Amino acid sequence: MPKVFVTRKIPDAGIRMLEQKGYAVAVSAKDGVLTKDELGQELQGKQYDALLSLLTDKIDGAILDAAGAQLKIVANYAVGYDNFALADFKQRNIYATNTPDVLTNTVAEHAFGLILSIAQRIAEGDRFTRAGKYHGWQPMLLLGNDLYKKTLGILGLGRIGSRVAHHGSRGFDMPVIYYDVRRNEAFEKEYNATFMATPEELLARADFVSVHVPLLPTTHHLMNAERLGMMKKTAYLINTSRGPIIDEAALVEALRTKVIRGAALDVFEKEPDLAPGLAELENVVLTPHTASATEETRAAMSEVAARNIIEALEGRVPPNALS
Ligand code: DGY
């Protein structure tokens, strides 16, 4: 009977699919992230055929070797897979998979929630009201900014970036500009969008910069002090991708000194820690890496991860194979 190890409790849907196949499924008993040593110990000598991992699990050659030669697949419960050392998977002929598509809408909705929240000062207004500071309507209280006709800059036009662009263009009449390593003329036509040849050009023109590039050596600190300085003073930065794409200390400084107007972040450079000073700023909205956290989407991610495992264990190429 094939054996599967799940590194932390996830929605039941996928677990049920695996159990219905007759697999023996073990879910980590720890209500927290397993350290690398703990994960290695969990796997050592247990002969698991498949591992269902989270984005907080670093999976490299040492972990794959601890699992043993029978391991066929590691299915990540995330679309991002910067936690995988893919070369190590390839070397050992082990499938790595992710969960694209099912979370596109949810993350794009969250990104838009962040855009609205920072521009219309919704989270700040909530804090203000709860603190008992609201003593009656005032003409100058908590003035924010409209989205209507403001330029939306998409850094990275993948599935999620395109969906955020769709919401901005169709929902709020925002002109869309984008930067990506690949130009997409069909997208330009559909949304009357403009391709920027460099990130710098986009930063100089956008009123809202929404980050959707994957974390790679080339995108680490893509938003550093210099590039933050290229943004409009009135602009907002939104990140639902991966924290290390922004130099968070530089962002704190830029927000404090009003180099840009505000930021809204779902991801952080050293999760779960925040850069010193970030949480004290009023001109930021922060959410705890929950952009994909709806009941529907997390259940769907669980099913996609399970489907990838089933396909691999039944001898087929899993639909979301990365290696
Ligand atoms: C992912 O799947 O990569 C997201 O960051 C989860 O929210």
Nearest C-alpha neighbor of 225 from the set 243, 249, 201: 249
Q: How many of the other CB atoms lie within 10 Å of CB of 36?
A: 15
Listed as own residue / partner, the contacts of 41-45 with beta carbons closer than 8 Å and 24 or more positions apart are 41/66, 42/5, 42/7, 43/5, 43/67, 43/68
What's the whole-model pTM score? 0.97
For domain 104-286, the CATH class is alpha beta
pLDDT computed for residue 293 by the predictor: 98
Quickly tell me which residue has 């009135």 as its tokens: 234
Beta-bridged to residue 179, according to DSSP, are 155
What confidence tens digit (pLDDT) does each residue in 250-294 have?
A: 999 999 999 999 999 999 999 999 999 999 999 999 999 999 999
pLDDT computed for residue 73 by the predictor: 98
CATH number for the region 3-101+295-313 comes to 3.40.50.720
- Checking phi first, is residue 208 left (phi over 0); if not, alpha (psi -120 to 50) or beta? beta
Mean per-residue pLDDT over the chain, rounded: 98
- With bands split at pLDDT 50, 70 and 90, how would you rate the model's confidence at 121? very high
Q: Where are the domains of the chain?
A: 3-101+295-313, 104-286
- Checking phi first, is residue 14 left (phi over 0); if not, alpha (psi -120 to 50) or beta? alpha
CA pair distance 183, 209, nearest whole angstrom: 18
pLDDT computed for residue 130 by the predictor: 98
Measure 217 CA to ligand 1 centroid, in angstroms.
Answer: 18
Share of the chain above pLDDT 90, in %: 100
Do the two domains 3-101+295-313 and 104-286 of this chain adopt the same fold?
yes
- With bands split at pLDDT 50, 70 and 90, how would you rate the model's confidence at 154? very high
Measure 297 CA to ligand 1 centroid, in angstroms.
Answer: 11
Q: Which of the following is catalytic: 212, 242, 261, 298? A: 242
What confidence tens digit (pLDDT) does each residue in 164-183 have?
A: 999 999 999 999 999 999 99
What confidence tens digit (pLDDT) does each residue in 293-318 have?
A: 999 999 999 999 999 999 999 999 99
110 catalytic? Reply is no
3-state SS, residue 153: strand
CA pair distance 312, 82, nearest whole angstrom: 21
